[in-house]
Structure 1
Amino acid sequence: MRHKIRAAVALLVAAGALSACASPGRGDQGGTGWSYTDDRGITVNAAERPERIVAQVSAAGALKDFGVNVVGTFGPLVRDDGTTEPEAGSIDPRQVTDVTGPGYGEVNLERLTSLHPDLLVSGKYAEYPGLWHLVEDQEQMVKRIVPTVGVQQSGIALPDAIARYGQLARALGGDVDSARVKADADRFNAAAQRLRDIGARMRAEGKSILAVGGTKDEYFVVVPARNPDLDYYVKQLGLPITTPQHPDVAGGGYFERLSWEKANAYPGDVLMWDARPASMPPEQMKQNPVFASHPAAAANRFVEWDAVAPMSYASYAGIMTKLADQLSAQLGY
């Protein structure tokens, strides 16, 4: 979960030499080499544009959707049943090498080295200086092997996060102006309009959405403003997603954490459940009698929240279309 993200200050040992530095979030392919300044303010300089890229799975999915392939990934890639994790988006596990280590935030350093990577890419969160899915000691070891780039994916709206990945993909040679990417953007905008229309109708009817999740030990209510997608849905599309009153500040403010005895503390006409593997599915959550007594739970009015999907038009066009379909079905729209 996001509140378990561990990170630390990362110093970059960049390869190559360029006298000119790029502006933040922009790549420079002119002159005699390649340069890119990431969202940590760190500039990577290289003699040539990176070709062999390793990325955290959702970053890899976003880059692929913008026309940039990777040779390796780390983070959740394949489920126990053999299907691809939603977090990996359009990545085909058969076409990449998984360099995930045995524990959270770890990388198999030998496997990473064997790929001869030119660049490693991962997301970053506003309140943490380090890279997502890399604990401090791992990040320090990784940077001795390969230069790293961090892409902002919290504290900004979803379209801005998508644009960050588009900028990086362009710098890495991706055809972000292709007909396919433009079609993805059109589908994204069409899905956004559907959600905007649904939000307007819900607000007119006084209805609300509650984003929730649960583990064996606790029930939690999601804070929309701390998540780029939910923040976008609320502030720009008008979906009435409830903000809990007491976020867990120590954990980054992404959730209000509650005991299961308080699982009906907040009302909601529709429950948006956290679909990540670490969170229980609705059927399991409903084994708790308090949660099961929530009117929306009792009526099985659930829609999915894909919390860690790739930040791309293609990815979120599908996610938002699915959400619009589910909300329409649950509310009879």
Structure 2
Amino acid sequence: MHLSSKFRALVAALICLVALAACSAQSGTPATSAASSPSAAGPWSYTDDTGATITLPAKPQRVVGFADQVLTLLSYGVQPVAVFGRVDVKSDPRFEGIDLSNIKILGNSYGEIDLEALAEVAPDLIVTGAYPSDREGTIDSTQPLYGLKDVEQQKKMEAIAPFAAIKVGGEGIKVIESGVNLALALGADQATVDAHKALFETASAKLSETAKASDLEVTAMYADADGIYLVKPDDEPQTQLFKSLGVNYTSVNPGGAYYWDIFSWENAAKMMTGDIILLSNEGFQVADLKKQATFAKHPALVAGQVYPNPYIAMNYSAQAKAMDTMVGYLTTAKEVS
């Protein structure tokens, strides 16, 4: 079955993703001192995670971006002028408490972006993600950046402003650091970043302590009419990060296909080992799972240990909150498998 379109569409839903691999230690770093010094006047240059170098007459003031990356910039105090998302931005729970009155919404569905409205906000820079297509971290240049419909649309947007992409793959901490580097280059305050990092480190320590004392197995998955898509924990940044802290994820086939283990409903019983199910908030939900004869008796489903698994932005504060949530699951759920 050809999965490329579904692969791209599901990526952000399932704790996010689409093929991942380690980010280069040098990726996402300012290419010049002007990029690393927010107050510096004159030319601004930045090399993003795809290896592209963006050079502008001055540091970008008007930034537009895909919701996932905009959330990261906002967390560090970088205010965008516009955003486009894969779901309705105003009802996206990740934006709860964020004042959107001065942020123009350019699109609320994957790939559907109002190009006229984009031109009207006159951005200096467009920020989005780039998902590798394999574990080696390959970025397929024949495919559009994440959040965009196709290459033609990307070219039209590039005629308005250049892109800076954050690679969403490989080690979770490197994805977070890449977002930090771009935020600092766009004027984020180092003290704000440091404060968020401290919260992250505290949450990391707590999750590590809890996970190492727990025997529970966590299954991260997406489901639809075709079957179950089981996240490969080493291939997706957030699961890789949490696994590195001791969380025990279901991993039926560590090698093999990249990012997903895919099971038809007829074969769903093959992955019925988790004590906790983290279910994408897109696709099938609990009521739908209960209707599947081969899955309805999953011990975690029967025990009511199925929890929502939205894509969490890869920044220090968002991940700290996600870690606290995982601690809650691991301390309240029971072993059922």
TM-score by length of 1: 0.82
Secondary structure of 1:163's match? helix
> Is 1:191 matched up with 2:203?
yes
Give the Cα–Cα distance (whole angstroms) in 2 for the partners of residues 316 and 89 of structure 1.
16
- Contact persistence 1:269–1:301 (CA under 8 A): no
Pairing of 1:104-183 with structure 2 (within 5 A): 104-127=110-133, 128=139, 129=141, 130-134=144-148, 135-155=150-170, 157-178=171-192, 181-183=193-195
> Is 1:274 matched up with 2:279?
yes
Give the Cα–Cα distance (whole angstroms) in 1 for the partners of residues 100 and 87 of structure 2.
7
Secondary structure of 2:165's match? strand
Greater RCO, 1 or 2 (C-alpha within 8 Å, sep 6+): 2
Distance change in 2, residues 1:89/1:223 (3 Å) = farther
- Contact persistence 2:212–2:246 (CA under 8 A): yes
Question: How far 1:55 moved relative to its partner?
Answer: 0.4
Question: How far 1:247 moved relative to its partner?
Answer: 7.4
| Structure 2: stretches of 5+ with no match in the other structure | 11-25, 35-39, 134-138
Query: Counterpart in 2 of 1:327?
Result: 330
Pairing of 1:233-312 with structure 2 (within 5 A): 233-234=242-243, 236-245=244-253, 249=257, 253-277=258-282, 279-306=283-310, 308-312=311-315
Percent of aligned positions with the same letter in both sequences? 25
Pairing of 1:29-68 with structure 2 (within 5 A): 29=34, 32-68=42-78
Pick which of 181-190 and 161-170 moved more: 181-190
Residue identity matched to 1:96? I
Distance change in 2, residues 1:91/1:149 (3 Å) = farther
Question: How far 1:57 moved relative to its partner?
Answer: 0.2
Give the Cα–Cα distance (whole angstroms) in 2 for the partners of residues 195 and 90 of structure 1.
26
Distance change in 2, residues 1:154/1:211 (3 Å) = same
CA RMSD of aligned residues (A): 2.5
Query: Counterpart in 2 of 1:70?
Result: 80
Distance change in 2, residues 1:189/1:304 (3 Å) = farther
Give the Cα–Cα distance (whole angstroms) in 1 for the partners of residues 223 and 269 of structure 2.
13
Question: How far 1:320 moved relative to its partner?
Answer: 1.2
> Is 1:98 matched up with 2:102?
no
| Structure 1: stretches of 5+ with no match in the other structure | 7-22
> Is 1:317 matched up with 2:320?
yes
Distance change in 2, residues 1:26/1:220 (3 Å) = closer
Give the Cα–Cα distance (whole angstroms) in 2 for the partners of residues 92 and 276 of structure 1.
24
- Contact persistence 2:279–2:307 (CA under 8 A): no
Give the Cα–Cα distance (whole angstroms) in 1 for the partners of residues 256 and 281 of structure 2.
19
Pairing of 1:199-218 with structure 2 (within 5 A): 199-202=211-214, 205=215, 207-218=216-227
Question: How far 1:276 moved relative to its partner?
Answer: 3.2
Question: How far 1:91 moved relative to its partner?
Answer: 4.4
Residue identity matched to 1:142? M
Runs of 4+ in 1 over 4 A off after TM superposition: 88-91
Give the Cα–Cα distance (whole angstroms) in 2 for the partners of residues 90 and 324 of structure 1.
24
Give the Cα–Cα distance (whole angstroms) in 2 for the partners of residues 34 and 2 of structure 1.
37
Give the Cα–Cα distance (whole angstroms) in 2 for the partners of residues 99 and 193 of structure 1.
39
